[in-house]
Amino acid sequence: MPYLHILGPLRLWRDGAELDAGPRQQAYLLALLLARAGRPTSTSELIDLIWGEDAPASALNVIHKYVGALRRILEPELPVRETGSFLHRRGNSYLFTAAPGTLDLVDFRAHVAAAGADHSLDRYVEALGLWRGPAGDGFADRLFASIDDEFFAACTAAADLALSMGRPDRVLPALRLAASMGPFHEPVQAALVGLLGAAGRQAEALSLFRTIRDRLADELGVDPGPALTEAHRRVLTQPPAPLVVPPSAATGLVGRVEELAVLRQTAESALAGRTAIGIVEGEPGVGKTRLLAEAAAVAGRHGALVVWGSCLEGDGTPSMWPWEQALGTLVESLAGPAREKWLGGELGRLLEPGTGDTRELPDGNAQFRLFEQVVALVGQASAQRPTLLILDDLQWADVASLQLFSHLAGRLPPRTAIIGALRDRAPTLGSGLAQVLAAASRLPGHRRFRLGPLGLVDVAELIRHEAGHDPGDEVARAVLARTAGNPFFVRELSRLIDEAGALSGVPATVRDVVRHRMAGLDDRARDLLQVAALIGRDVDLRLLSRATGVAVADCLDRLEPLQALGLLEPGPEDPSALRFAHDLVRESVSETTPKKRITRLHVDVADALEATHADDEAVAERLAFHLWAAGPLAEPVRTAEALIRAGRRAAAKLAFESANRQLRSAVQITRAAGLMELEFSALTLLAIVVRRQSGYDASTFDLLERAEYLARGLGREAEAADFLFIRLMGAYTSIEKGRGALARRMHEQGLVSADPAVRRYGREAWGLHQWDIGQIGSAYRSLTAVSPSVAADDVDTPLRRDGGIPGEGPGWRAVMTALHGDVDAALAFVDTWDTPGDPYAASVWVYYTTMIASMAGDAALAGRAAERWVSAGLDRLRSQIDHYIRQSWCWARAVLHEDASAASEAEELIGDLLDPPQWGIAYHYGLIAEMWLAAGSPDRAADALDRADQAVWDHGQRYAEGLLMLLRARLAQAQGEPVDAVRAAAERARDHATACEAHLFARRASQFLASL
């Protein structure tokens, strides 16, 4: 059953997966029908709304086509010509019928009606929580403005009810959203001023009133109306909030009523069968984890399954660590047979590392399979019990963990909610995390807020809770001024208040507090604490004992006073274990450790890890980190072997970025130490990881060149050829200047080699080179001579065995077959790869089908293939070929006159090919020129062709020249040049393509000549 959102940006989901509504005009059509759900809209009105005065002659047919495509998106199993359950035709009109629970606008109206009838604040809160921004955000139409007015009316009614019940905090988030949407809507602004005043936030209320008053005067030239004036008067006459300390909650959480309400709403979405995402950000020590714990307790009391994953600071943290914790808990919540099923798949690599490093590395599609398994696992768990997934300290998450977060958030199963927390400073937000959060913000049920400092009342209550007596007003204000309301710092300073209620000394920072506490420790306790800080926030007592040579019982005795000082606390699951009270404490302790001692301690911790966790792959990354950090104190061989092992472990968990970093460090150490065999092992594994990432850069090329050099020096000619071919493939992908020389080297080696694989490399390299320089006949003969299967007598090498050799010989063969003139044979060959149930195979089929269709000028075929790619959700694979498919889809829509914005979209997309430069720039500029010609914009087409010619000049890639010359002829025709000039240009295009044996382009030129 699909679910659609129009109260904010248009979003569609089916079976927990988000869908693409299609081209912008198609999405606009759907948004219009949703805004009028249950009411028919005539096709003439739809045409007027979508195109206005620029409607094409085919507009009605396009409307019908869009409706058909939308029906297939909403109900993919719908038989052809069936209308389905949602989009119906009524004469010359269309209407959208929303079944219960399928459209947020219908749900909103139902909740508002019930709230008004029952005077129910809860129903109002539920209704207002469905909004995420202006209705139809991104589309401009009066229909959506009228829906916004419904939101404003509901907000003001809910505000009145909340004020009468003394619960202004319940509707504050919705009123803030409404105020941001309607900056000149005085009833909404007045309601927000009144709510803030009633919530004890008089200063904020008065500041808001002044802002609104100035805005009205500056932009409209009017004074505030009666509603705003009255709200302002009530705030002014309201007595100031006295410094009354409320009794402590049973949970010990002080303040945070509004913030906890937001997280409760997030958890309640899962309990109600929906999905939600909550993001809490704030400075270190502000209480994010404490707030998450309270939200988890609330969800748990209502029957939800709550699972935690905490990210840890430092390169020593295992990759995918938060997911190992969270998914492990989920798997354990299932029955025995179900657990075994999940552990037998890709999840087993992540959750059960095993011993040794004998398992082969996963293939390039494994990451997507793992991510999809995680979605299915969460779906199975949430089907049994509403599930709340909490991920703390996201600022420390590794790249693979963030990728999985993004994938799961976009396909969140029903009855599931995610709450994440992160620091908004120290460290600054990384670009990867920022992109993930931006993508999450566009999803349904998303809520994000910053957890700010405590106010005076809450600071006083926290002091009373910690010190055991009420502070005076003067002390509370002094602590607030010193701590800026940071709860952790408030709690620490509370310990310095003497029985008379006076501060006995006020350190300047949290770190000063920690140093002040450590000042009274003896050397033995201090040394033990510094080693513990190096191990991590959770103190492994057995590891600490081994690293320090102190018995476990003695460790506990020496560390016991630190609990009274607030530096350590019992572990959350094992009261006999210890952990630092906060990451800030551990960080502060680490800063007190002299740098020279830290290096030595890293060796001690590494020794202890090897002694206590022998052959345990789970500690491989931690061990490598400590040896790397030990620098020259650790033997290079030992460190390099640990880094290679860690790289393999990270790659086995599909954390390829982490594996890349570990292996590059291993290469650096082995090269400096002259350990050629070990360096070669690291480079071999790195080449496989780079291939899994599908990413090459300048430093990677240098490493591949080094690997080839080492292989020849070690007498491993087969592996040297492997590395040369990988390097060549990367050079062609990024159209490096020296790629032709590499192809010639590979070709020459293939001619004389007895190794079937090397001979195949040589033929493929030469075919790719000939394609690149535009000699299509030579490319066709080279590539069609290559057997698509691997010869049985190939020399076995690690790269060939682990699938690290790139190359798309069958795909290149298909493209060359098409360019050589036999499009039908090429497409038939491509059809053999369309394996049912394999999303990657389907994506590759779409890639080559749309490429060949665009070369042949078959926009209908390209459009059908691209629509399958979208409707099947293949775009979520996020593969390197995505932008090529999107370009071909834009071309099809533009040439078929289905989307007037397609050419502009393609111009934006081509940026993915320009920086850094990628294969096919000139050809895709040619497609953009053809789009502009179809749109009747010859000037824009001329600009695109100029860019195509410049790309040919800059990069030397000439295979598209026949098409570009033909498009020049068509441009001349569009610009009104004489027929003889147009004919001459087309003949030059035909003759050039024929000479290069690009018979497909020659045939297209001949067809154009016949039309003159």
CB 486 within 8 A of CB 508: no
SS3 state at 225: coil
Rg (the chain; Cα; Å): 33
**Which of 424, 450, 476 represents a domain boundary (last residue)?**
450
Nearest to 943 by CA among 983, 951, 909: 951
Most confident range (mean pLDDT) of 80-84, 641-645, 787-791, 874-878 is: 641-645
Q: What pLDDT sits at residue 733?
A: 86
Q: What is the DSSP letter of 366?
A: H
The range of the structural domain enclosing residue 184 comes to 104-237
**Which of 202, 237, 272 represents a domain boundary (last residue)?**
237
Angle at 945 between CA 940 and CA 946, to 5 degrees: 95
Euclidean distance between CA atoms 682 and 899, whole angstroms:
50
Note whether residue 655 is domain-resident: no
Q: Which string of b and e fits 458-469 if b means at least 16 CB within 10 Å? A: bbbbbbbebbee
Q: What pLDDT sits at residue 435?
A: 83
Q: What pLDDT sits at residue 505?
A: 53
SS3 state at 549: coil
User: 762 falls in which pLDDT band (50, 70, 90)?
Assistant: very high
Euclidean distance between CA atoms 627 and 633, whole angstroms:
8
The identity of residue 287, as a single letter, is G
CB 397 within 8 A of CB 322: yes
Note whether residue 400 is domain-resident: yes
Tokens of 805: 């050799």
Euclidean distance between CA atoms 70 and 27, whole angstroms:
9
Does residue 939 carry a pLDDT above 90?
A: yes
Question: What is the mean pLDDT of the segment spanning 191-201?
Answer: 85
Question: What is the mean pLDDT of the segment spanning 783-792?
Answer: 59
Note whether residue 943 is domain-resident: yes
CB 388 within 8 A of CB 304: yes
Q: What pLDDT sits at residue 220?
A: 84
Question: What is the mean pLDDT of the segment spanning 136-147?
Answer: 79
- Residues 563-618 have pLDDT tens digits of 777 788 877 666 557 888 877 788 888 888 888 899 999 999 999 999 888 777 77
User: 158 falls in which pLDDT band (50, 70, 90)?
Assistant: very high
Dihedral angle, C-alpha 341, 346, 348, 354, nearest 10 °: 140
Q: What pLDDT sits at residue 799?
A: 80
Euclidean distance between CA atoms 471 and 479, whole angstroms:
10
Does residue 522 carry a pLDDT above 50?
A: yes
Note whether residue 392 is domain-resident: yes
Q: What pLDDT sits at residue 358?
A: 45
Does residue 621 carry a pLDDT above 80?
A: yes
> Under 8 Å CB-to-CB from 813, ≥6 apart: which residues?
783, 784, 786, 788, 829
Does residue 362 carry a pLDDT above 80?
A: no
- Residues 225-272 have pLDDT tens digits of 888 888 888 877 765 443 333 333 334 678 888 888 888 888 888 888
pTM assigned to the model: 0.68
> Under 8 Å CB-to-CB from 181, ≥6 apart: which residues?
133, 134, 148, 151, 152
CATH of the domain at 532: 1.10.10.10
The identity of residue 933, as a single letter, is L
Whole-number average pLDDT of the chain = 85
Question: What is the mean pLDDT of the segment spanning 477-497?
Answer: 80
Residue of higher predicted confidence among 338 and 982: 982
Percent of the chain clearing pLDDT 90 (strictly above): 33
What are 281's strand-pairing partners? 422, 450
User: 709 falls in which pLDDT band (50, 70, 90)?
Assistant: very high
Q: What pLDDT sits at residue 315?
A: 64
Measured on CA atoms in the order 183, 184, 185, 189, is the torsion positive or negative? positive
Does residue 32 carry a pLDDT above 50?
A: yes
SS3 state at 196: helix
Distances in Å between the Cα of 632 and the Cα atoms of 303, 507, 858, 912 are 54, 38, 63, 42
Does residue 990 carry a pLDDT above 90?
A: yes
Q: Torsion-angle region of residue 735: left (phi > 0), alpha (psi -120 to 50) or beta?
A: left
Same domain, 751 and 795: yes
CATH of the domain at 963: 1.25.40.10
Q: What pLDDT sits at residue 191?
A: 93
Nearest to 63 by CA among 75, 83, 80, 48: 48
Same domain, 803 and 816: no
Q: How far is CA 481 from the centre of its chain?
A: 39
Does residue 503 carry a pLDDT above 60?
A: no
Neighbouring C-beta atoms of residue 786, cutoff 10 Å: 20
DSSP string covering 47-90 = HHHHHGGG--TTHHHHHHHHHHHHHHHH-TTPPTT--TTTEEEE
Note whether residue 656 is domain-resident: no
Distances in Å between the Cα of 473 and the Cα atoms of 255, 460, 481, 485 are 18, 8, 12, 15
Same domain, 426 and 487: no
Euclidean distance between CA atoms 34 and 32, whole angstroms:
5
State the alpha helices, DSSP H only, in 317-420.
321-332, 336-343, 346-351, 366-384, 399-410
- Residues 853-874 have pLDDT tens digits of 999 999 999 999 988 887 776 6
Number of domains in the chain: 7
Q: What pLDDT sits at residue 1005?
A: 96
Question: What is the mean pLDDT of the segment spanning 898-907?
Answer: 88
> Under 8 Å CB-to-CB from 754, ≥6 apart: which residues?
none
Same domain, 298 and 208: no
Q: What pLDDT sits at residue 818?
A: 96
Find tokens 């020249």 and name the residue: 961
Question: What is the mean pLDDT of the segment spanning 827-850?
Answer: 84
Note whether residue 248 is domain-resident: no
User: 279 falls in which pLDDT band (50, 70, 90)?
Assistant: very high
SS3 state at 285: coil
Same domain, 116 and 206: yes
Same domain, 835 and 905: yes
Tokens of 277: 């995402």
Same domain, 494 and 579: no
Does residue 741 carry a pLDDT above 90?
A: yes
User: 767 falls in which pLDDT band (50, 70, 90)?
Assistant: very high
Same domain, 163 and 49: no
User: 363 falls in which pLDDT band (50, 70, 90)?
Assistant: low
Comparing 667-681, 828-842, 845-859, 945-959, the range with the smallest average pLDDT is 828-842
Nearest to 129 by CA among 402, 450, 417: 417
Question: What is the mean pLDDT of the segment spanning 345-361?
Answer: 64
Does residue 737 carry a pLDDT above 80?
A: yes
Comparing 296-300, 636-640, 791-795, the range with the smallest average pLDDT is 791-795
User: 724 falls in which pLDDT band (50, 70, 90)?
Assistant: very high
Does residue 151 carry a pLDDT above 90?
A: yes
Note whether residue 78 is domain-resident: yes
Distances in Å between the Cα of 60 and the Cα atoms of 21, 56, 255, 347, 861 are 19, 9, 59, 50, 21
Same domain, 90 and 130: no
Nearest to 389 by CA among 443, 438, 330, 332: 330
Same domain, 858 and 979: yes
Neighbouring C-beta atoms of residue 233, cutoff 10 Å: 10
Does residue 417 carry a pLDDT above 60?
A: yes
Find tokens 């000082």 and name the residue: 565
Q: What pLDDT sits at residue 698?
A: 64
Note whether residue 685 is domain-resident: no
- Relative to beta strand 41-42, strand 446-450 is unpaired
CB 395 within 8 A of CB 401: no
- Residues 63-114 have pLDDT tens digits of 888 888 888 888 877 776 677 788 888 888 888 888 878 888 999 999 999 9
Same domain, 749 and 848: no
Nearest to 319 by CA among 346, 292, 353: 353
- Relative to beta strand 305-310, strand 387-392 is parallel
3-state DSSP percent of the chain in helix, strand and coil, to 5: 65, 5, 30
Tokens of 511: 């770190």
Q: What pLDDT sits at residue 536?
A: 85
Does residue 406 carry a pLDDT above 50?
A: yes
Q: How far is CA 972 from the centre of its chain?
A: 45
Same domain, 298 and 411: yes
Does residue 8 carry a pLDDT above 50?
A: yes
Most confident range (mean pLDDT) of 213-222, 480-489, 957-966 is: 957-966
Euclidean distance between CA atoms 409 and 420, whole angstroms:
11
Question: What is the mean pLDDT of the segment spanning 514-539?
Answer: 84
CATH of the domain at 296: 3.40.50.300
**Which of 45, 70, 96 represents a domain boundary (last residue)?**
96
> Under 8 Å CB-to-CB from 832, ≥6 apart: which residues?
none
Nearest to 186 by CA among 158, 152, 219: 152
